[in-house]
Amino acid sequence: MNALYFYLIILVHPYLAMWSKSFKQAGHKSWEALIPGYNYYVAFKISCKKPFWSILLLFPGIHIVMWSVVNTSYIRRFGYYSLADTFQGIFFPYIILYKIAQSNQDILPVTNWANSREIGARALGDHLVLLLSLPIIGHIIALILNAISREKPGSKSKVKEWGDSILFALIAASIIRTYVFEPFQIPTGSMEKTLLVGDFLFVNKLAYGPKVPVTPLSFPLVHNTVPWVNIKSYSTLETVNYTRLPGFGKINRNDVVVFNYPSGDTAVYDPRMPDGLMGHDYHGIVNNEAFYLFQNDPETARAYQIATKFYTDSLTRKGKDVSIVDSLANSYINKKMLKELEIYKNKARKMLAEEKIAHQGGELIEHFGVIYRPVDKRENYIKRCVGLPGDWMEIKKSVLYVNGKPAFVPEFQNLQYTVTDFTVSSNLNMMTRYGLEASRGDYFSSDGKSYTMNLTAKELIKLKKDNPEAKFELVLSPQYSSVSSYKPSPMELLNNLGQFPKDLYINNTITDYTRFQIPKKGQKIAISSKNIAWYRRIITAYEGHKLEEKENGIYIDNKKVSSYTFALNYYWLMGDNRYNSADSRIWGFVPEDHVVGRASMVWFSKSSDPLIGIRWERLFKMIH
């Protein structure tokens, strides 16, 4: 149900509640109940003497809580305190409000906390409020405080006091977290060495304008899962279309941006795993599982092995009719493996829907289902925005090009090198001399002689200067498509499914990427079978259309089309730790409605290495 209906209920509520009658019993005019907005101002003034709390009714999600607050407080002013009364006040107050309107009963004074009878009458109702505000934990706090300090005569009970305090603290924190700034912890090393695992930072939501939550009915201060119990923290009973409030600016190239993971619309749920997830990239899991099922299908495994052998032989065999062998291999690969890949994808999707998945080695692993996540409840990721709407992007030998020019290189961006003839004698020596942390994945060695290192430009210069005999070679994954005469193997074709746009015939790698343009809102492009792979997910998942690719052309929403106009702006984001980052090279464009805010400041940082502990030099460090 769209949020509009909830606001309509709020607008109509004063008339259904017959406030025009009960307002007179509270010493106000009947007409005050008939003016939208002002009637809530008066109702809050009557019920809890906080008229300006009525403003909170404007905030999606918060409005439902405040609606319950005003109703519960209102009926209590007329003597309805019990557990059943409180429950009705929170969820369906109309029966009690009808009784009040028909009774001509005068409003009662606020609770006399020195009167044990009045305290007893409302005790269970106050317990219900505390339970709904902060389940169990709130009662533990209240019981502890009650045990160590006696309640003073005439003062509120600890349950009432903490119920009110916790409820409004959560409301205030939810508003700040949703519309102003949000704390965020760096979980992975994709932004090393700009941001480190263990960094705690603030995300500025006012920088680009805060998003109105798509699912505003949500458990406060958690993202998509309630801790410890691993259940969804949100309800889709109320939803809001994408809306972004005005901000102080727009996304600039090279901003460090927090966003909702674009490939996180579907997730594999498993409470045994951290955050209840077996994997964030459901679509990658489907591709991997499809290939595994294909390879291990008894009907095709033998034929696949023969075709692969024929293919290998065709490249090396001399004095034989290579064209025949090559034709046999390609015939099988194209007609069987590649054309039937979607069949195996469907098998993989079915297995995932049935809460099981075949793991490498043949082990069948059970999980707990596939779940859909709305935009605002997808995992939060953080990367650097290297491409804006309309930009042309390309990667050559790990060098990023934007609009044909080498892109800005952040100070701590690092690339991966293979280093031989290196003279450093110990890991400790390397760490102290160059600031490299083995535990952070900056370097490793398999034989103690050669190293694989992730180095910034400054670190590379320093290491070369101190070790003139060492050989530094940039690790590359060249595109086979750059060699026109090269014929890719079945495995190489399938490896293309690991990089965006996850198409068998588009050969991108982590270090070399085909030139492409980032879509821009309002931009109209020609589409065909040659370029549709880049836009499949935009058209279907992000902009909500039905896409069909037929032999006679492209169909969108059952109509044959030759062009498409984009409804949203899109961005290209990459991690500064270029060789250890799941970013746009894996899952593609980031739609504007997924952008959360700009990472602004590291306020705390702690290393998992006990020898390092708190990284004092990173406290209150601004992010650039």
Helices assigned H by DSSP within 77-203: 83-91, 94-103, 116-133, 137-148, 158-179
Give the single-character DSSP code of 212.
P
Query: What's the full length of the chain, in residues?
Result: 624
What pLDDT digit, counting tens, does each position of 16-54 carry?
Answer: 999 999 999 999 999 999 999 999 999 999 998 899 999
CA distances from 244 to 262, 466, 520, 595 (A): 18, 52, 17, 10
Provide the pLDDT for residue 525. Answer: 96
Model confidence band, residue 211 (pLDDT cutoffs 50, 70, 90): very high
In the structure, how many helices (H) and strands (E) does the chain have? 18, 28
What pLDDT digit, counting tens, does each position of 553-610 carry?
Answer: 999 999 999 999 999 999 999 999 999 999 999 999 999 999 999 999 999 999 877 8
Mean pLDDT of 271-285: 72
Average pLDDT of the chain is 85
Q: 372 has which bridge partners?
A: 266
d(CA 533, CA 14): 53
Mean pLDDT of 120-135: 79
Residue in 357, 380, 359 with CA at minimum distance from that of residue 369: 357
Q: Which residue has the tokens 């193997």?
A: 489
Model confidence band, residue 331 (pLDDT cutoffs 50, 70, 90): low
d(CA 451, CA 422): 8
Evaluate whether 244 touches 409 at the Cβ level (below 8 Å): no
Evaluate whether 348 touches 279 at the Cβ level (below 8 Å): no
d(CA 547, CA 554): 7
Give the single-character DSSP code of 582.
-
CA atoms within 13 A on the CB side of 519: 29
Q: Which domains does the chain have, with CATH numbers?
A: 3-178 (no CATH), 181-264+592-622 (2.10.109), 282-377 (no CATH)
Share of the chain above pLDDT 70, in %: 85
CA atoms within 13 A on the CB side of 51: 7
d(CA 146, CA 128): 17
| 221 or 11, higher pLDDT | 11
DSSP 304-320: HHHHHHHHHHHHH--SS
d(CA 559, CA 189): 45
Model confidence band, residue 276 (pLDDT cutoffs 50, 70, 90): low
Mean pLDDT of 488-496: 79
CA distances from 552 to 289, 341, 529, 564, 590 (A): 30, 21, 10, 17, 30
Most confident range, picked from 200-214, 227-241, 446-460: 200-214
Residue in 123, 158, 154 with CA at minimum distance from that of residue 138: 158
Q: What is the pTM of this model?
A: 0.85
What pLDDT digit, counting tens, does each position of 366-410 carry?
Answer: 777 888 889 999 989 999 999 999 999 999 999 999 999 999 999
b/e map of 315-346 (b: 16 or more CB within 10 Å)?
Answer: eeeeeeeeeebbeebbebbeebbbeebeebbe
Strands 370-372 and 364-366: unpaired
What pLDDT digit, counting tens, does each position of 405-442 carry?
Answer: 999 999 999 999 999 887 765 554 666 666 777 777 78
